[in-house]
Structure 1
Amino acid sequence: MERVSLDGLSSRLGVIKSFSDMSDPEEISSLVSELRPRLRNVIGTTIGKGGEGKTTVTANLAYVLAQAEKARADQGKPAKPILYIELDSNGNGRLNFGVRGMPFDDDGLSFLDALTDDKDFQVIEGVRPYLDMVMSGRHNADIPTAVTKLHDKHGVSAYLLLAILLAQISHRYRWILLDFSPGDKMIQRLGLAACTHLLAPMKGSDNAVIEGLGTLAGLVRQVRRLNSEVAITSLVFLGYQRRNDEPTSQLTNLREKIGLLLDQGGIDRGVLIDAYIRDGETTANLARNHGMPAGEFAQAAAGLLTDPESGELSERPRDENGRLADPQRAFDIASDYTNVAREVVQRIRHRNQEIQGADAA
């Protein structure tokens, strides 16, 4: 792993400083139209309420997609890395990959500077094979204040800062995954203005889950001026029991309830993908505590993970009581993430074809 600065990037502030609150809306639309074709590989994960597992989902999907790129490279096929960016100030994604507190962990300072002050955009290359990430942390909490000041001078163009940045690097990556919380509207606007496809993780079956989805749909409508292409692509369910390899009534009933709401809103039920993440909070927490995505943790639990430096087999992970992690349980959850990633990518590719068809028309 190493920190690198991506070169050749032009000024983000230089773009938005030509705008103000009095700018012609057509000028904003022209900028948005220029950005959108370069951002169709940007996937955002968020939902209108907290505690839905968005960081766990995003980090694990990033790992699965990176493994797929590694497999392509091993077969001699063209491959590109995946980029994972967490906009939240807690920076919990660092725990999923075991990089919190490492020498290059600056708690998001370089990202803040790149986004709001035109400093070098730095990524950590090789967090895993074909997986890069941007460091996040407490400095991300300063992003809303900085963007608010820019908004006061340059209007809604300030919300396009992240989109302008990612449009310049998107060609380097197969997919860019954004993880952003429901807690701050400024952060959500930055994320929603940048991504094309939205994943909404859903956990539990109470009305708050439904309300969170409604909140997200409302936010998407509000950002249309800055991003006419963003839409919810997939609802990702996690933490649901499975019996005889089938979901229980808890999930099937929730799917139907949400399906009816989608019908009322004129939204394709296809966003309700078949794959889901089974209940496995203990295993998921243990994987995070060991700084491993689910797929890697499963390999470690089975005694199959090799240390990249020594070439020797890594020690099998244990829980806080010293018991070895259950490899079958770990492999089951890892398989769920693989299946979810496969369906999500299929839907995204289909949707990108539709968008490109609309462009041609």
Structure 2
Amino acid sequence: MELVAVEGLSSRLNVINSFTDMSDPEDLESLVRQLRPRLRNVIGTTIGKGGEGKTTVTANLAYVLAQAEKERADRGESAKPILYIELDSNGNGRLNFGVRGLPFDDNGLSFLDALTDDKELQVVSGVRPHLDMVMSGSHNADIPTAVTKLSGKHGLSAYLLLAILLAQISHRYRWILLDFSPGDKMIQRLGLASCTHLLAPMKGSDNAVIEGLGTLAGLVRQIRRLNSEVAISSLVFLGYQRRNGKPTSQLTNLREKIGMLLDRANISRDVLVEAYIRDGETTANLARNYGMPAGEFARAAAGVLVDPETGEYVEAPRDENGRLVDPQRAFDIADDYTNVAKQVIQRIRLRNEVLQGADIA
């Protein structure tokens, strides 16, 4: 694990310097068209309400995708790393990977400077095999103020700063995962202007879940001038019980309710991911406390996780009462994330084929 400065990046501020509120709309459209093909491996995770598990879902999907790349490399096939970026100021993704408070954790200062002041982008390489990460934290809270100031001078183009940055590094990564909050509109705009595929995690069955989805759909419509390709590609459900290998009526009823809303909006029900994350909040919290994604935590619980630095087996995790974690329960949840990741990426690849076909046409 090391901190790496990404070299060879062009000035993001120079790109937007020629824009103002009075700029020709066609100039902005031209910039957007140039950016879009380079951002089709960018997946954004967000939803219109908090507490839906977006950071846990995003971090675990990043880990699953990185493991797939490691397996490709082990087979001698071409492999690229995965990049995880959290735009939120709480920086909780650092907990999922156990990197919070380590020497390179600057609470998002370098990311703020790279995004809004053209400083070099710093990436933590090798957080896990084939998984890189941009540090986030309290300094991310300064991003909205800095971008708002730039937008006062350069108009809508300021909201493309993250997209311009990612377009320059996207070729280095198989997938870039953006985790951004529903709480701040500026952060939402930066994230929505950058990603091509949206993943919306859904937890619970109250009306707030439906309202959150409606809020997200509205934000997508509002960002069209800055991103003509962004769309909700996957709705992922987590925290639902399973009996005899099947979901309970709580989930099936919610799926149908959302399905009818999708029908009315002329959106395919294919965005409803069949695989889901079963109820396992206790296990998820323990995994985060131990700084491990679900798959890694399961192997630790089974006593087969090896510390790459010492070469020794990692001590099996215990709950708050000192009891050993149930390995089967941990593996069940890890398998759920793997199945969800496969179905999400399948949808994204199919959608990318359509977008690339439109380029040729």
TM value normalised by structure 2: 1.00
2:11 corresponds to which residue?
11
Q: 5 Å matches for 1:109-128?
A: 109-128=109-128
TM value normalised by structure 1: 1.00
Unpaired stretches in structure 2, ≥5 consecutive residues: none
Q: Which amino acid aligns with 2:48?
A: G
2:170 corresponds to which residue?
170
Q: 5 Å matches for 1:307-326?
A: 307-326=307-326
> C-alpha separation between the residues in 1 aligned to 2:310 and 2:123?
25
Q: Secondary structure at the match of 1:106?
A: coil
Q: Which amino acid aligns with 2:265?
A: G
1:188 corresponds to which residue?
188
Q: Secondary structure at the match of 2:154?
A: helix
Unpaired stretches in structure 1, ≥5 consecutive residues: none
> C-alpha separation between the residues in 2 aligned to 1:157 and 1:169?
19
Q: Secondary structure at the match of 1:168?
A: helix
Q: Which amino acid aligns with 1:152?
A: G
1:160 corresponds to which residue?
160
> C-alpha separation between the residues in 1 aligned to 2:130 and 2:353?
25
Q: Which amino acid aligns with 1:247?
A: P
1:221 corresponds to which residue?
221
> C-alpha separation between the residues in 2 aligned to 1:18 and 1:43?
29
Q: Which amino acid aligns with 1:312?
A: E
Q: Which amino acid aligns with 1:119?
A: K
Q: Secondary structure at the match of 1:78?
A: coil
Q: Once the 2 structures are TM-superposed, how far is the Cα of residue 46 of structure 1 from its aligned partner?
A: 0.1
Q: Secondary structure at the match of 2:123?
A: strand
> C-alpha separation between the residues in 2 aligned to 1:75 and 1:150?
47
- Stretches (4+) displaced over 4 A: none
1:209 corresponds to which residue?
209
Matched, 1:357 2:352: no
Q: Secondary structure at the match of 2:193?
A: helix
Percent identity of paired positions between Structure 1 and Structure 2: 84
Q: Which amino acid aligns with 1:303?
A: G
Matched, 1:105 2:105: yes
Aligned pairs, number: 361
2:257 corresponds to which residue?
257
For residues 244-286 of structure 1, the C-alpha deviation after alignment (integer angstroms, 9 at most, x for no partner) is 0100000000000000000000001000011000000000000
> C-alpha separation between the residues in 2 aligned to 1:240 and 1:121?
39
Q: Once the 2 structures are TM-superposed, how far is the Cα of residue 360 of structure 1 from its aligned partner?
A: 1.1
Q: Which amino acid aligns with 1:305?
A: L
> C-alpha separation between the residues in 1 aligned to 2:312 and 2:290?
18
Q: Which amino acid aligns with 2:224?
A: R
Q: Once the 2 structures are TM-superposed, how far is the Cα of residue 318 of structure 1 from its aligned partner?
A: 0.6
Q: Which amino acid aligns with 1:276?
A: Y
Q: Secondary structure at the match of 2:181?
A: coil
Matched, 1:240 2:260: no
Q: Which amino acid aligns with 1:75?
A: R
> C-alpha separation between the residues in 2 aligned to 1:321 and 1:239?
23
Q: Secondary structure at the match of 2:201?
A: strand
Q: Secondary structure at the match of 1:236?
A: strand
Q: Once the 2 structures are TM-superposed, how far is the Cα of residue 139 of structure 1 from its aligned partner?
A: 0.1
Matched, 1:70 2:63: no
Moved more, 342-351 or 320-329: 320-329
Matched, 1:32 2:32: yes
Q: Once the 2 structures are TM-superposed, how far is the Cα of residue 359 of structure 1 from its aligned partner?
A: 1.2
> C-alpha separation between the residues in 2 aligned to 1:117 and 1:317?
43
> C-alpha separation between the residues in 1 aligned to 2:326 and 2:218?
42
Q: Secondary structure at the match of 2:232?
A: strand
2:267 corresponds to which residue?
267
Q: Which amino acid aligns with 1:115?
A: L
> C-alpha separation between the residues in 2 aligned to 1:244 and 1:358?
44
> C-alpha separation between the residues in 1 aligned to 2:120 and 2:256?
47
Matched, 1:95 2:107: no
1:297 corresponds to which residue?
297
Q: Secondary structure at the match of 1:233?
A: strand
Q: Which amino acid aligns with 1:333?
A: I
Q: Once the 2 structures are TM-superposed, how far is the Cα of residue 358 of structure 1 from its aligned partner?
A: 1.1
Q: 5 Å matches for 1:340-355?
A: 340-355=340-355
For residues 89-135 of structure 1, the C-alpha deviation after alignment (integer angstroms, 9 at most, x for no partner) is 00000000000000000000000000000000000000000000000
Q: Which amino acid aligns with 1:121?
A: L
Q: Once the 2 structures are TM-superposed, how far is the Cα of residue 202 of structure 1 from its aligned partner?
A: 0.2
Q: What RMSD, in angstroms, separates the aligned Cα atoms of the two structures?
A: 0.3
Q: Once the 2 structures are TM-superposed, how far is the Cα of residue 24 of structure 1 from its aligned partner?
A: 0.6
> C-alpha separation between the residues in 2 aligned to 1:53 and 1:310?
33
> C-alpha separation between the residues in 2 aligned to 1:353 and 1:241?
35
2:230 corresponds to which residue?
230
Q: Which amino acid aligns with 1:101?
A: G
> C-alpha separation between the residues in 2 aligned to 1:343 and 1:316?
31
Q: Once the 2 structures are TM-superposed, how far is the Cα of residue 195 of structure 1 from its aligned partner?
A: 0.1
